Every structure is written in structure tokens, then in C-alpha cells.
Amino acid sequence: MGRFRKITGAIVLVCAIYIAYIMRDTFDPESIRGKKVIVTGASTGIGEQIAYHYARLGAKILITARRENLLKEVSKKCIELGAQEAHYLPMDMAKVNDTGRLIVEAEKKLGGLDYLVLNHALYYWELWDGNIEKLQNIMNVNFMSFVSLASKALPMLTKTNGSIVVVSSAAGYIGIPSMISYSTSKFAIHGFFFGLSQELAMKNINVSVTLCVLGSINTDHARIGLQKFINAQGWMHEEDLPSAEETAMRIIKASAARARKLNFPYEQTRLLQLLSIFFPELVDKLVSIQVDVNVL
Ligand SMILES: *[C@@H]1O[C@H](CO)[C@@H](O)[C@H](O)[C@H]1NC(C)=O
Ligand SMILES: *[C@@H]1O[C@H](CO)[C@@H](O)[C@H](O)[C@H]1NC(C)=O
Ligand SMILES: *[C@@H]1O[C@H](CO)[C@@H](O)[C@H](O)[C@H]1NC(C)=O
């Protein structure tokens, strides 16, 4: 019994040290100073906060979204916060073939690229009604434009040993009722970028791909969704959600560490994915109980 306890104790200790080691914060804020960064979907929410963090860390920033007035404000604030440069280019990501303009702009204004942060996304809360054109549009905005931007940025990123940072969602692990189109686009993102990451490694191209899988984060969009479409009996409550600001910092740190993946918050992402492998019916129930079908 004594020996068994000692062995168990040693195993627990080794595991604890290992977990502490892999969880340690190795982030060097100075490593971001002067770095050339693109952030998409940067007019509100998590994208806006990513831009502000990069600004505080002294990066050179190019932001995009659809609304020029908001971009102008965010870019002004970036300079106030300490960005070495801040530029903006309004763009509609549904026009996939037009996205190349953003990469050309980075070359012109920043003279290169270290981080391509693909963050924009479009979604609706609705049950699937067979509208293929709407799905096609969501796939263009959420998926094809990511592929297009990453592909066009690769030559510049290769020169700097840069990083592609992809903001995704647990909706790319599990089909989410009332958000099927969004879920579909996130599944596609996972397939493409996990595969791309391996192909780059096979070709000895030192460009990292960090896939950031997020759960529900406290943004205006999420709050409106929770208030309108989520059942009161469910387990998701506004006040429990992590802030956009904290989430943005997690994303920046994971990409600086060239991590393959970030799951945040853990219980809504990786844990849900693991549960869905072993107890799929339970996870279906947990997920569907959240959605209030009566208001959709
Ligand atoms: C997309 O843009 C490229 C040049 O940037 C052009 O050669 C090509 O014809 C365009 N394709 C479509 C479908 O518009
Ligand atoms: C990129 O990484 C390689 C090693 O893989 C290194 O030799 C090279 O100097 C790096 N280039 C830049 C611009 O950091
Ligand atoms: C890739 O580039 C990063 C950043 O320049 C560098 O720290 C790392 O050593 C490089 N990795 C390889 C395998 O060359």
C-alpha cells in the first residue's frame, strides 16, 4: 500500500509539473513591436480588441471590415494606444476575388506581413430552410475569403517566417442547430487549415497556422443572440462568458507561440469535442436544449 501511494504520488507530481510546463506563459510582449499585422473583421468585437492589443504592443496594423466609419475610429484609437502605424481598407468579403486588394495594400503600406489574422464571420440565427444562395454567400464570406487571403499572403508570410491566425468556433466541432450555415463554414475552415498547416511543414515553409477555436464570447452579437434565442434553462449565461478583450489576448499569445491550436474557453470547446466522441447523444441534448425553437 505504501509503495502504491508513493508511485501514484510520483505520477501525479510528474503530470502536474508537465501541465505547468506546457501551460507556462512564455509570451514576450517585445516580440510584437514593429510587427506587420492584418486583422479582418476589426470594426467590432474580438477583431477590434485584437487590433487594440497589437496597437498597445507597438505593431504596424492594417485593418479591414465593411463599415468605413467604424474602421476609421478603430484605426485612430490604435494610433492613440501606441501602434507604430495604423491603416484601414473597407472591404466586402463576399467578393472573394476582390480580397487580393488587402494583401496588395499590406505590401504597399506595411512593406510586408508577419501576422494575417482572419477573424471576420457572418451568421444568422435561423433554422435551415433550404436557401442555398444564402449558404453560398456565408461560405464565401466565412470560408472562401479566408482561403483566398491566406493563399495570396503566403509569399509575404514565407519571407518573414510569419503566421496565419484563423479565428474559428466550437461550431466547427459540432453541428449547431439554428446556425447550420455558420457551422458548415467552420467545419470547412478546420479541414482546410489543418491540412494546409501540414502541407507547409512538408514543404519546409516556416509559416505557422494557429487555429483558434472559440466558444461563446461576450460580444454585442453574442449578447443579442443569448437574449433572443437561448433558453433560460440552458447553461449559457451572459455574465459567465469571457470578455472579447481577454479572448483577443489569448489569440495573440497563442499565435506568437506558433501554437497549432487554441481552445477557449476549454469547457465550451475541447471538452465538448471530447464528450461528443464518447457521448454523442448527450452532447446533442446539451446543445439543442440551449436553443429556443419557438422564437426562430
Ligand atoms: C479574379 O481576379 C484575377 C486578377 O486579380 C483575374 O485574373 C480573374 O479573372 C478574376 N476572376 C474572376 C472570376 O473574376
Ligand atoms: C526564418 O527561419 C529560418 C529558420 O527556419 C531562419 O534561418 C531565418 O533567418 C528566419 N528568417 C527571418 C526573416 O526571421
Ligand atoms: C520558424 O520561424 C520562427 C520565427 O522566426 C523561428 O523561431 C523558428 O525557429 C523557425 N522554425 C524552424 C523550424 O525553422
Which residues are CB-contacts of 42 (< 8 A; sequence separation ≥ 6)? Answer: 48, 50, 51, 63, 64, 65, 71, 74, 88, 119
269 vs 133, higher pLDDT: 133
Nearest residue (CA) to ligand 2, atom 8: 161
239 vs 46, higher pLDDT: 46
State the ligand closest to the CA atom of 257.
3
Q: Is the Cβ atom of 158 under 6 angstroms away from ligand 2?
A: no
Query: Residue range 31-37: average pLDDT?
Result: 98
Report the run of H or E that residue 209 belongs to, with start and end: strand 208-214
Percentage of residues in the chain with pLDDT exceeding 70? 93
CATH topology of domain 32-295: Rossmann fold (3.40.50)
Closest CA to 170 of 281, 266, 45: 266
pTM, 2 dp: 0.91
* pLDDT value at 116 more than 70: yes
* pLDDT value at 66 more than 90: yes
Residues with CB under 6 A from ligand 3: 161, 206
Nearest residue (CA) to ligand 3, atom 12: 206
Closest atom of ligand 2 relative to the 206 alpha carbon? 5
Q: How confident is the model at residue 231 (pLDDT cuts 50, 70, 90)?
A: low
Q: Which backbone phi and psi does 198 adopt, to 5 degrees? A: -70, -40
Q: Locate the domains of the chain by residue range.
A: 32-295
Q: How far is the CA of 47 from the centre of ligand 3 (A)?
A: 26
Q: How confident is the model at residue 287 (pLDDT cuts 50, 70, 90)?
A: confident
Q: How far is the CA of 168 from the centre of ligand 3 (A)?
A: 24
226 vs 116, higher pLDDT: 116
Q: Which residue has the cell 492594417?
A: 62
Q: Is the Cβ atom of 161 under 6 angstroms away from ligand 2?
A: yes
Residues with CB under 6 A from ligand 1: 97, 100
Q: Is the Cβ atom of 31 under 6 angstroms away from ligand 2?
A: no
* pLDDT value at 229 more than 70: no
Give the start-end residues of each E strand in 18-75. 36-40, 60-64
The rounded distance, in Å, linking the Cα atoms of 3 and 8 is: 9
Position 272 scores a pLDDT of 86
Position 18 scores a pLDDT of 77
In tens, the pLDDT along 236-248 reads 677 778 889 999 9
Average pLDDT of the chain is 91
Catalytic residue at 173?
Answer: no
Q: How confident is the model at residue 8 (pLDDT cuts 50, 70, 90)?
A: confident
Q: How far is the CA of 161 from the centre of ligand 2 (A)?
A: 6
Closest atom of ligand 1 relative to the 100 alpha carbon? 5
